[in-house]
């Protein structure tokens, strides 16, 4: 399922705190299946996801705990 969502498109992302960024993301990242930074799929521990924003009319976007605070 995730392998079929690797097409890259440009999305307007409203990050927590109100910052708006235009990012090139895979469909899997935009739909919340992969981390915004490292593209890892959600797991346990440092791989667990935390919501960091949303894409209007698409849904929430996430980063894994290991990537939080890192550069996008």
Closest CA to 53 of 10, 8, 12: 12
What local confidence, expressed as pLDDT, does residue 72 receive? 46
Two tokens, residue 46: 């440092």
Q: pTM of this prediction?
A: 0.84
Please give the C-alpha separations between residue 46 and each of 12, 42, 50, 67, in angstroms, as whole numbers.
27, 9, 10, 8
> What are 5-50's pLDDT values in tens digits?
999 999 999 999 999 999 999 999 999 999 999 999 988 777 789 9
């Amino acid at each position: 399922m995730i392998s079929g969502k690797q097409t890259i498109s440009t999305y307007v992302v409203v990050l927590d705190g109100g910052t708006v960024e235009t990012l090139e993301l895979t469909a899997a990242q935009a739909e919340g299946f992969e981390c915004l930074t490292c593209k890892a799929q959600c797991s346990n521990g440092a791989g667990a996801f935390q919501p960091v924003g949303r894409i209007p009319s698409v849904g929430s976007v996430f980063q894994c705990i290991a990537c939080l605070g890192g550069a996008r």
